[in-house]
Structure 1
């Protein structure tokens, strides 16, 4: 989905006038004004056209309302249900104040301690299926990627799915964020706040911790920042035998996620090739770059 299509979808909801693009990735995010002239500023998220993403958008709004009720600092929904335009879900959120500083891994750990202490919400959360999007992303990549690489990633997906199903967790299972990275935390005047709630799940809490361990290994996170994350959370997931399985599943998904951008972005294609080559070579030291 490009900006033009996202704006067409937003226009159909009545939120498009004066909308300013904030980011374009898995969703298109726009700063918008509510048509009824309600006070404050808002953010609209336009999702890709897919039935499962429409259900996920509805659940994300429910998660935001629930976190508000239980007092976890997180972005708050400004509408109770999504718009649906030609299969594209659109959700509306209260815009957060500007960040006072960049978020750090320790900020993520502080919020994870709050989330991981929560009981189940009054609605169903799905398991965290890291590999669920692999087929869709590879399909979107189409002929832009080597077919043999697509076959390789599908096989890797299936292997790690089977291995993950056999894991025994160290921590109690329950609500997790699902994509616990500093980019999904904003530090405002009142402290760190969770954003991007669409991957909230009920599963191994270790899922949220493996994210930062992979950042250390693949994305150049400095050792001292990882140590600060561990100190703030209170446990290092690398002490658990199963962490390499969740790491492998996440690497597979991250590689396929980049592939979907390959048809229109040469940098994405180059990054995809770097990632898949490092997986084929079983070389965990190859640096990956955020995209």
Structure 2
């Protein structure tokens, strides 16, 4: 699980002028574009955006480590400028904007799969020892440490999420262990089934791979929001696509499109090993932690809590 609980900062997220001074940015036209558990400010004059999360978590340092690894490997992903820096009880990182983003372009399942294949193919040969591990359940529970002081989530609702995490912990642990065993066998020079390696093997994962975390820039699609990235079982990067079909009402064709572009039945394996449920729990915890932000988020949190509790969605999920 995530090392150490999140600490809710007081009084407020870092001021724009403080962020600008810390990172040497031009504050002209700067604005807050997301006021949630991950507080995001855009500095258009410097072509930089900052991400702040409550202090007391290792997440930003892990994100920075993965970003450096992906930069060295040439994977098209967000590039860190500086940080994490502790500011007013928050940990803040600064990231370069992707050049010439097409705001109307949306990554389809084939694009997501192609990015996953490149990411996994580049990093799957790395020795997993010493690499930051992807930990979606720990990240989800850490979100609840933010939700509790906000006072909008009942003990019964917190119990639903914690029981789900307990139920899914062996599911995630088994997937990680399969990846570790394959990595160990390959490292020893043992004969390894390539089909198993393609879907169960380990690599650096994005950890939250859906269309909202990919932007289409001047040089093509780029992975952004690496907050959950780390080493783990490859099929987990297909879990959001499976969850979007299962809970958001996306067409089944998305699964075939993803697997076809990836070159292996990644979504099938994610379904088989219930990794879509792992991702859904992380996503639900995030939504619950941010439910006070709007009426729509509150409604979505209630919907997801019912889904996690019963295994059935009364209606399609909407927010990402």
Same topology, TM > 0.5 = yes
Deviations 1:39-81 (A, max 9, x none): x8332323222222xx3323323332332222211222223x4
Q: d(CA) in 2 for partners of 1:241 and 1:91?
A: 31
Query: Which of 87, 90, 95 is residue 88 of structure 1 equivalent to?
Result: 90
Report what 1:76 is aligned to.
79
Once residues 91 and 69 of structure 2 are traced to their aligned partners in structure 1, the CA distance between those partners, rounded to angstroms, is 20
What is the Cα deviation at residue 12 of structure 1? 5.8
CA change 1:12–1:46 in 2 (3 A) is farther
Give the direction of change, closer, same or farther, for the CA distance of 1:24–1:221 in structure 2 (3 Å limit): farther
Q: What SS class does the counterpart of residue 92 from structure 2 fall into?
A: strand
- Number of aligned residues: 282
TM-score by length of 2: 0.77
Q: Which portions of structure 1, spanning 4 or more consecutive aligned residues, are displaced by more than 4 angstroms?
A: none
Equivalent positions of 1:77-156 (< 5 A) are 77-79=80-82, 81-100=83-102, 101-117=105-121, 118=123, 119-120=125-126, 124-142=130-148, 143-156=151-164
Q: Which runs of 5+ in 1 are unaligned?
A: 34-39
How far apart are residue 233 of structure 1 and its match? 0.6
Q: Is the Cα–Cα contact under 8 Å of residues 47 and 90 in structure 1 kept in the other structure? A: yes
Q: Which structure has the highest helix share of the two? A: 2
* 1:92-123 deviation digits (Å, cap 9, x = unpaired): 22211232322222111111111111232799
Aligned residue number for residue 163 of structure 1: 171
How far is the alpha carbon of 1:25 from its aligned partner?
3.9
Aligned-residue offset at 1:197: 1.9
1:183 correspondence with 2:244: no
The verdict on how the C-alpha distance between 1:7 and 1:183 changes in structure 2, with shifts beyond 3 A counting, is same
Distance change in 2, residues 1:166/1:5 (3 Å): closer
* Equivalent position of 2:305 in the other structure: 276
Gaps of 5+ in 2: 1-8, 180-195
Q: 1:189 Cα deviation (Å)?
A: 2.2
Comparing 206-215 and 263-272, the one that deviates more: 263-272
Within 2, Cα distance between the matches of 1:241 and 1:220?
A: 17
Q: Shift of residue 242 of structure 1?
A: 6.5
TM-score w.r.t. length of structure 1? 0.84
